[in-house]
Amino acid sequence: MEWLKRILPQKSRKKYSPEEIDLFEKHLDDHFGPCRSVFHELASPDGMHIDVYIIEPTEKYPCYRLITCGMGARRMGIPREARGQVPDHIELMLSLPADWRFDEKSMEEDRFSWPVSLLKYLARFPWSESTWLGWGHTLPTDPFADNTELSGVFIDAPEHYPFDAFRVDFPENRPVYIFQAVPVYAEEIDYAVEHGSEELEKLLKDVVCRPVDVARKNYAEGK
């Protein structure tokens, strides 16, 4: 993962400034496509502010992209041995089918609202659990909704996008990297524990570049 080595010293804080939000929004518009709407966070008791942007399907990328805005304002606690080798400021992206429903009534149902809830949970996870998130990490959860057995995430680089798309250059030499949260099955997380994250990435090669399929094949089943 050569791109992971292109990291510069960064400055820590808990929220983006209005100017940084404008810069982030322009980056999304330039590299991912138009923003349909934003799930604005109304209350932020921990001092962070996590919004979730909805990027419209485009001809090039015919799916929705949900991208957090706020996680990258705060530096993660990277272990000493990994400092300078992995990003310590990141945002997260999750891709959904073009027929996903975001209307108010649908978002009252877990089967449509779980991607937003998951991204907000993951965006705070490094601080709620005194840890960090980066490429290759897996995180088990409960099943997301009653219409799927997907119950965890694999953090991967969105390498099906140009490199410039998932690096946002903020002032003061503070790049923020956009990773993708890939929903996975419990058995796929077990596979990563046994064989390593690179092998899981290979196993999921047909999954990581596509929008979520809540009924997709379990690639680790029987392995």
Spell out the residues 6+ positions from residue 90 whose beta carbon is closer than 8 angstroms to its own: 71, 72, 76, 133, 134, 176, 177, 178, 179
Mean pLDDT of 167-176: 88
Quote the tokens at residue 1: 């993962």
Single-letter amino acid code for the residue at 179: F
Alpha helices in 32-170, H assignment, sequence order: 110-128
Residue 212 burial (C-beta neighbours within 10 Å; 0-12, 13-18, 19+): buried
pLDDT given for residue 11 in this prediction = 43
pLDDT given for residue 107 in this prediction = 96
How much is the pTM? 0.91
**From the CA atom positions of the chain, what is the Rg in Å?**
17
SS3 204: coil
Q: Residue 13: pLDDT band by 50, 70, 90 thresholds? A: low
Quote the tokens at residue 149: 């057995």
Q: Which of 151, 145, 135, 143 is nearest to 187 (CA)?
A: 151
- The CA-to-CA distance between both ends of the chain, in Å, stands at 26
Q: Which of 90, 86, 140, 147 is nearest to 118 (CA)?
A: 140
Separation between Cα atoms, residue 115 and residue 97, nearest integer Å: 12
Alpha helices in 2-140, H assignment, sequence order: 18-31, 110-128
Q: Encode pLDDT of 98-131 as tens digits.
A: 999 999 999 999 999 999 999 999 999 999 999 9
40 vs 44, more confident: 40
Q: Residue 46: pLDDT band by 50, 70, 90 thresholds? A: confident
CB distance 62 to 95 below 8 Å: no
- pLDDT above 90: residue 146: yes
* β-pair partners for 180: 93, 156
Q: Residue 140: pLDDT band by 50, 70, 90 thresholds? A: very high
The secondary element (H helix, E strand) that includes residue 138 is: strand 138-140
Mean pLDDT of 150-161: 95
Quote the tokens at residue 104: 């108010």
